[in-house]
Structure 1
Amino acid sequence: MATRTTPAGSARPSGRSRADLIADSALALLAERGMRGLTHRAVDERAGLPQGSTSNHARTRESLLEAAVRRLAEHEGRVLTLGELPPDGGPDRMAEWLAHALHRYLTGSTELLVCRYELALEATRRPALRAFYDRTGRRFREPLVALMASAGSDEPERHALSLVAWAEGMMFACAAGSPHRAAPTEAELRAGCAELLRGMLGTGTT
């Protein structure tokens, strides 16, 4: 069974800071209402905090959006388990790990996917947020570059970009594209990823 990671509700779990509560509530609003539904007052209401609490923590809309991006990256990092990179085992072993992480995301974290695209689109209109969004995203890209290099890629950055583009396309299709929420099976994801990796690395079936 997939681990479900979703934007938080209004109750504060033990150990969660006020900053995390505010950011989780912002993500919940983005998933439910879109960017227009994200206001400081709405976050206070969703989090069950006194009016003005969110403004005290994030005075501007830009800072509130940055808090949401940062918290989204934390949730995605747990779902994708980027610290558990597979040992050198060829394209099929790499595809198995990547497909497992991606399938867990697609089947258990659809609200995070919606938040991802709401924030990505907003970042295209806000240069400062774009820069922050891109900096935050490096924590996901850099391990893939290292992984491609260790697998023998002669162009690890370009190949990692192709792998990210494939995964992003799959995520968008499941979140908002034509198959809307019809996630591929883990076996289907593994097969597609393995085909891509074999082509980039110039290897046959391992």
Structure 2
Amino acid sequence: MRREELVAETAITLLVERGMRGLTHRAVDEAAGLPQGSTSNLARTRAALLALTLARLTALEEGYFTAVPSTAVPSAGDPSAGGPDTGGSEAHGGAYGAYGAYGPDALAGLMARLLFTQLTDGRRTTIARYELALEATRRPELRKVYDEAGRRFREVATAVLAAAGSADPVRHGRQLVAFGEGVLFDAVAGAGAVPGLEELRDGMRELLRGMLQT
């Protein structure tokens, strides 16, 4: 692992375990087993350290998103599949265009798996992102970085729904992100229990069927 990644991963862990007040350059050095001053050499200011951490979080969450389609390729006989990808979905979604090969029911299963990953294996990244989200409300320089990361995910949601046949992918993309964020926040920071994969799939199926009018 490169030192930059080590620093960012350690910062994520500190955010989860100690909160924003526990994240300092010195704390990262100590927790990562690095010589004192190593983190400052990579990120001179606190704002730079937060931006580095957010960049790592964004990369991790993008990794969850792009990994999901590769785990479940629809067969030609799958009635919920949208047919083979002829290349048009790539124009909409780039690396995410694979989602366009699925009908709403199969797509709901993939999106449910993504949320479930963020609630289980990726729970630490979800918690750390919430810590940074609150901090961004008080730091304009972090707000800019955070909003850019959020814009990228909203664009992906729009591209996925455009590839799946949405008549209004921009509006539906915002709604899809809002639904997912609501589920995550309720289960991670709210009073709700962590939903099972089947419950997530049912909720996503109902949402997507309405959006895609099936």
TM-score by length of 1: 0.85
Q: From the two aligned structures, give the one with the greater helix fraction.
A: 2
In structure 1, what is the equivalent of residue 111 of structure 2?
98
Contact 2:29-2:37 within 8 A present in 1 as well: yes
Contact 1:80-1:102 within 8 A present in 2 as well: no
- Cα distance in 2 for partners of 1:29, 1:155 equals 40
List alignment gaps of at least 5 residues for structure 2: 68-94
Contact 1:81-1:101 within 8 A present in 2 as well: no
Q: Which letter maps to 1:125?
A: R
* 1:88 Cα deviation after fit: 3.2
Matches within 5 A, 1:16-95: 16-81=1-66, 83=95, 85-95=98-108
- Cα distance in 2 for partners of 1:100, 1:110 equals 13
Q: Which letter maps to 2:175?
A: S
Q: Which letter maps to 1:200?
A: M
List alignment gaps of at least 5 residues for structure 1: 1-15
What are the superposed Cα offsets for residues 154-204 of structure 1, whole Å, 9 maximum, x if unpaired? 22111011000000011111111112xx3211111111011111112222x
* 1:41 Cα deviation after fit: 0.6
Contact 2:100-2:164 within 8 A present in 1 as well: no
Overall identity of the aligned pairs, in %: 54
TM-score by length of 2: 0.82
* 1:76 Cα deviation after fit: 1.4
* 1:75 Cα deviation after fit: 1.4
- Cα distance in 2 for partners of 1:72, 1:191 equals 28
Contact 2:100-2:163 within 8 A present in 1 as well: no
Contact 1:21-1:47 within 8 A present in 2 as well: yes
CA-based RMSD: 1.5
In structure 1, what is the equivalent of residue 196 of structure 2?
185
> 150, 154, 165: which one pairs with 1:141?
154
What are the superposed Cα offsets for residues 98-141 of structure 1, whole Å, 9 maximum, x if unpaired? 11111122121221111010001111111111111121233322
Question: In structure 1, the residue corresponding to 2:165 is in which secondary structure?
Answer: coil
Q: Which letter maps to 1:33?
A: R
- Cα distance in 2 for partners of 1:40, 1:87 equals 43
In structure 2, what is the equivalent of residue 199 of structure 1?
210
Q: Which letter maps to 1:189?
A: L
What are the superposed Cα offsets for residues 56-75 of structure 1, whole Å, 9 maximum, x if unpaired? 11011000000000011111
Q: Does 2:165 align with 1:152?
A: yes
In structure 2, what is the equivalent of residue 8 of structure 1?
none
* 1:81 Cα deviation after fit: 2.5
Q: Which letter maps to 1:46?
A: A
Aligned residue pairs total 186
Worse overlay, 145-154 or 38-47: 145-154
